[in-house]
Amino acid sequence: MSLKKDKKRVCGFMGIVGPTNSGKSTLLNALVGRKVSIVSQKVQTTYHGVSGILNLDSGQLVFTDTPGYQKHPDRVARLLNNVADQKAAGCDAVMWVFDASNPRVFQQVMKLKTKISQLKKAELSFCVLNKVDKVEKTQLLPLIQSLWELGIFKEIIPVSAKKGNGMDRLVQIANQVLPEGEELYPRTAISDRNPQFHLAEFVREKIYQATHEEVPYSSWIEIDESEGPRMPTILAKIHVDSESKKGILIGKKGEMLKKIGIEARKEMEAFLGKQICLKLHVHVQKKWKEDSRFVNRYLELDQ
């Protein structure tokens, strides 16, 4: 007697690509309904490509966030562009995310046109026009029309990741275009990362939100956990590259570090679903950004 075969299930990778600050990380969080990727108004927040997992009855949709394309010439930025390219190329299909409220959005797309058509054929390339909550409909329609006429996208989808509008259509698209396959992650997984990764990212997000440009770009965070008497203790060690940045991070009478700690702990508790005690230490590690061992470890590249 032959066993009845299971219905084929979807499992594949949808890349989330596009210029920095277009809302890719916000979009990923909205798609999977959890904060798996950190968000900020500054560029270059997403160093590590993180994948968010949406488990549906029909299968598993894996959305892969990538670092946005950078114009800055420094070593980290160059490596980030490579990471973005590699990650996107490895996906089954790609959603290109652009900020529809940026007056230069069409030029931005034009600049990337060759890359877009080289990365995936039009059948597998989707244009997500994000932040439509900030755009007049009368402006949006001609933009959609001109993007459509480029012939490089299968569909143009206006959304607001911040408000969660348009997510249903994106999930529907992923469900349609991603290949059939065995599920790759446990059905309870929400991302491809371990909890430590997310905890470190929450600290980084709060540093981005609280300090000026040079500090977040020069910080990296290591997490240690231990069981406390009443609740788990999480130790976040923040490495910075100079004494002056350490001073900024700690702030007057420790106010800055305290604020970062309170905000990061809130995120961690929401993520873990339990109370924790968070301790932050700031440690100076001169010129780590120029030391390939640290940069590679930080960006999780092959050494």
Q: Which is nearer to ligand GDP, 22 or 218 (CB)?
A: 22
Binding of Mg ion at residue 66 (CB under 5 A)? no
* Shortest distance, position 244 Cβ to ligand GDP, whole Å: 27
Nearest to 95 by CA among 147, 173, 43: 173
For ligand GDP, the closer of residues 30 and 61 by Cβ is 30
Tell the smallest beta-carbon distance from residue 54 to Mg ion (Å).
Answer: 18
Contact flag: residue 44 with Mg ion (CB under 5 A): no
Q: How many angstroms separate the CA atoms of 187 and 55, rounded?
A: 6
Q: In 143-296, where do the E strands start and end?
A: 155-158, 220-227, 232-240, 277-284
243-250 and 255-272 are packed helices; what angle lies between their axes, rounded to 10 degrees? 70
- According to DSSP, residue 124 is labeled G
Residue 46 binds Mg ion (CB under 5 A): yes
What's the min distance (Å) between Cβ of 31 and ligand GDP?
A: 12
Interface positions with ligand GDP (CB under 6 A): 20-26, 39-41, 45-46, 68, 130-131, 133-134, 160-162
160 binds, among Mg ion, ligand GDP, none (CB under 5 to 8 A by kind): ligand GDP
The residue (of 164 and 232) whose beta carbon lies closer to ligand GDP is 164
* Residue of this chain nearest to ligand GDP (CB atom): 23
**What is the identity of the amino acid at 7?**
K
Q: Rounded to the nearest whole angstrom, what is the least distance from the CB of residue 65 to ligand GDP in the complex?
A: 7
Nearer Cβ to ligand GDP (20/125)? 20
218 lines the binding site for Mg ion (CB under 5 A): no
Among 10-18, 42-50, 135-143, 182-190, the segment contacting Mg ion (CB under 5 A): 42-50
Say how far apart CA 245 and CA 250 lie, in whole Å. Answer: 9
Residue 203 phi, psi dihedral angles, 5° rounding? -65, -45
Q: Which residues fall within 8 angstroms of residue 131, CB to CB, at 6 or more apart?
A: 22, 23, 99, 100, 101, 160, 161, 162
What's the min distance (Å) between Cβ of 274 and ligand GDP?
Answer: 26
Nearer to ligand GDP, 266 or 281 (CB): 266
CB of 26 to Mg ion, least distance (A): 8
Burial class (CB in 10 A: 0-12, 13-18, 19+), 249: buried
- Is the distance from CB of 300 to CB of 294 less than 8 angstroms? no
Distance CA 191, CA 193 (A): 5
Confirm or reject binding of residue 25 to Mg ion (CB under 5 A): yes
